[in-house]
Structure 1
Amino acid sequence: MGNTNNDGGVFTVSADLLYRQITEVFARWGMSAAHAATAARIMVETDLAGIDSHGVGMLPHYQRGFAEGRLDPRAEPAILRDTPAAALIDSRHGIGHVAAEAAMSLAIRKAREGSIGIVAVTGSNHYGAAGWYARMAAEQGCVGLSLTNAPTPFLVPVFGTERALGTNPIGFAAPGADPRRPVLLDMATTTVAYGKVAIARRAGKPLPPGWAIAADGGPETNAAVAAEARALAPLGGDRVHGGHKGYGLALMVEILCATLTGARPGDETGHFFLAIDPGFFRDTQAFEADLEALAARMRANRPSDPAQPVLVPGDPEHDAVHRRRRTGIPLLPALVEEIRAVCSESGAPFLLEDG
């Protein structure tokens, strides 16, 4: 059994132990060792990057999908259409990470061979953090874009009262001189991802106004109520603060991931991946040098608070990986108990014991 520590009510576990725990669950579902390894690796690396809303915190959601027959652990993705520049993959209702990694890998290969690659996925499930796949492209020297819709509606359109779209995130990455530290944008088109509402619920903390919407259209700050209602504000909140822009971006993602791929609304998830070889447009080293200069210019901007320097998207994740590899991945006690319940339901051994 691995070792965990209880520090101020928060458990910390090693990446290796968390990986073993996830793969034990997937194995009990009947998932192949290769697919279990892919999904678990992506989930753990997401937690290492500090994106706690999209790593192991999603395991209870995946367990529900498996129990309800929406997630087929034995599915093998299949290429439906393929050209030198584009392809369409059917996930066949497998866990999203497997088809998504295959799709971005194919998009990168196409970009290397012909300057650009576009690969979409239909018939899928939740794939974790959008930025993880964009980072894949950047680590291979490509500019990467990763989008996904969600069949479960969370976003309430500006001027509306009913949930109509998913959180529909956007992941974008561009490689500099160090491909392990790209400019990396990973954002929901709602003010926050639903996973952050779930984190607040587990921690028993209130939500800031502007994250969630109450039944009367006003802000909902009770995390437990918001987690149950699942009604989130678009990025920006209301019309005055630019909520129409977040709504518009969510609709764009929906079109590219669902309308374009044929993923059935309310039933399936679709993904969209784009990889661009910057070497087609200019000398690669010159591009990387200019990107590094741009990032340095942003970081050198005089901060409003000397204690908080200006960051470039991807900086917090980069720092979190180095810190959590040393100190472990923190898990709230409520999440540990949810994982225990998943293990009980699936028949997997529970490895995250304290002590």
Structure 2
Amino acid sequence: MANPETQQRLHLVQAPHLEEFVQRILIGNGTSTEHATIVAKCLVQADLRGVDTHGSNRIPSYMERIRQKALNAQATPTIRQVTPVAAQVNGQNGFGFVAAHVGMKQAIAMAQEFGLGMVSVKHSNHFGMSAWLVKQALEAGMMSLVFTNSSPALPVWGGREKLMGVSPIACGAPAEPGRTPFILDMAPSVAARGKVYKALRRGEKIPTDWALDDDGNRTDDPAKALQGVMLPMGGPKGSALSIMMDVFSGVFSGAAFAGHVTNPYDPSKPADVGHFLVVIKPDLFMTMDEFTERMDYLYQRVVDSDKMAGVDRIYFPGEIEIITEEQRLSEGIPFADAEIESLNREADLVNVEHLKVGQ
């Protein structure tokens, strides 16, 4: 799909250097070291897993929101305990990564004691790739559900205006040590809107089944797609999932909803994103050994099932990203020329050393 005339070179950046680079830019823009460490780690996790749309390339838009006072880099989330198994986090218009991290930590603590933990988050911002929250729960040996709402990008089924967000649904379950855990992180659209921004940055075209332009026609031009609407996967099914995300993340939390969440690339006003996190102790109904044995059996049944014509390998949800992470930890994370330049402009604004890149 790439346009040969505009396609850019890719350069490799090592993950530790990238994480330190991002952290320094955040600190230079008023973020505390503690919070900058959380945000940088989450962004680089996305880069490592191949979710480039939700990784370090988001830094310029986040920093512009700080400069325009649409995001409070110094905000500290607050927690209100509602019941022994339910709490609410007020993100105070700070980084969504920090508010969600605090919420997930609280949900894990409740689940460890009571078997279940549920946290609603309001007055938050975009938190990048949902899978990092699932991984936070997995590291504690927990199952999880992660919901968020987002800015309008998707029409409801039968409509043509931007109303619902391309809001990901994510969940996970642990496996035996050394085995592949279950990690699902998917948008209710044919493709995440971040992939359109990525194609625009890299001078690439997009598949014509991803979006409609402002006139309602299919388009392979990412700029026209961003002026139009994303298309829901599975027609009314994807549309209904995006509404579900708004119910649990927006309506339920007290955050913005029904098309009123601000786009993370719009620095004019706070986003007021809402999240909904559920953590479940896997050994509520059986021992942990029994649970992980059953997960391993499920994994084997999935990946060893009969393959359709032309398929060499079947992957468990989240497995491709694990393979990508191993590869990128070894070889480096690819960035296009324009992406490097954009990040280095942010570095110049706060006197941070430029990214070290290879070919």
TM beyond 0.5: yes
Show the 5 A alignment for 1:284-323.
Answer: 284-305=288-309, 308-323=312-327
Secondary structure of 1:189's counterpart equals coil
Q: Could you give the per-residue CA deviations for residues 250-280 of structure 1, whole angstroms, max 9, x where no partner exists?
A: 1111111111111123341011110011211
Matched, 1:12 2:12: yes
Correspondences of 1:91-240 after superposition (within 5 Å) = 91-150=91-150, 152-178=151-177, 181-227=180-226, 229=227, 231-236=229-234
Matched, 1:336 2:340: yes
Equivalent residue number for residue 47 of structure 1? 47
* Farther off after superposition, 261-270 or 274-283: 261-270
Q: Partner amino acid for 1:181?
A: T
TM-score by length of 2: 0.90
User: How far did 1:353 drift?
Assistant: 4.5
User: What secondary structure is seen at the aligned counterpart in 2 of 1:101?
Assistant: helix
The aligned residue for residue 253 of structure 1 is 245
Gap runs ≥5 in structure 2 = 1-7, 262-270
Alignment TM-score, normalising by the size of structure 1: 0.91
**Mean Cα displacement is larger for which, 176-185 or 159-168?**
176-185
Where do 5+ consecutive residues of structure 1 fail to align?
A: 1-7, 237-242
Deviation at 1:80, TM superposition (A): 2.9
- The aligned amino acid for 2:325 is V
CA contact (8 A) 1:256 1:272 kept: yes
Contact 1:157/1:233 (<8 A) preserved: no
Deviations 1:144-181 (A, max 9, x none): 1111111x211122211110011111111111113773
Runs of 4+ in 1 over 4 A off after TM superposition: none
Post-superposition offset of 1:293:
0.7
| Structure 2 residue aligned with 1:271 | 275
8 A contact 1:22–1:56 mirrored in 2 = yes
Cα distance in 2 between the residues matched to 1:65 and 1:331: 23
Residue 83, structure 1, aligned to residue 86, structure 2: no
Residue 350 of structure 2: aligned partner: 347
**Matched residue type, 2:352:** P
Percent identity for Structure 1 against Structure 2: 32
Q: Match for 1:347: what amino acid?
A: V
Instruction: Render the CA deviation track for 1:61-117: whole Å, top value 9, x for unaligned.
Output: 212221221210000000134321010000101111111111111111111111110
Contact 1:12 1:330 (8 Å CA) reproduced: yes
Q: Structure 1 residue 218: deviation in Å?
A: 2.6
**Counterpart position of 1:3:** none
- Residue 23 of structure 1 deviates from its aligned partner by 1.1
Q: What secondary structure, in the 3-state scheme, does the structure 2 residue paired with 1:220 have?
A: coil
Amino acid at match of 2:290: A
Amino acid at match of 1:261: S
Partner of 1:25: 25
Deviates more, 1:191-200 or 1:244-253: 191-200
- Distance in 2 of aligned mates of 1:348 and 1:252: 44
Aligned partner of 2:221: which letter?
A: N
Q: Distance in 1 between matches of 2:17 and 2:127?
A: 21
Paired with 1:149 and 1:180, the residues of 2 have a C-alpha distance of 31
* Counterparts of 1:53 and 1:154, CA distance in 2: 15
**Shift in Å, 1:230:** 5.4
Distance 1:216 1:193 in 2: 21
What does the per-residue CA deviation read over 1:325-345, in whole Å, with 9 as the maximum and x for residues that have no partner? 10011111121122122223x
- Residue pair 1:95, 1:124 contacting (<8 A) in 2 also: yes
Residue 287 (structure 2) aligned to one of 283, 290, 307: 283
Task: Give RMSD over aligned pairs.
Answer: 1.7
Deviation, 1:234, is 1.3
Alignment partners' CA distance in 2, 1:303 and 1:222: 34
Decide whether aligned partners of structure 1 residues 147 and 318 sit closer, same or farther in structure 2, where only a CA change above 3 A counts.
Answer: same
Residue pair 1:194, 1:230 contacting (<8 A) in 2 also: no
CA separation of 1:172/1:230 partners in 2, compared to 1, >3 Å: closer, same or farther?
farther
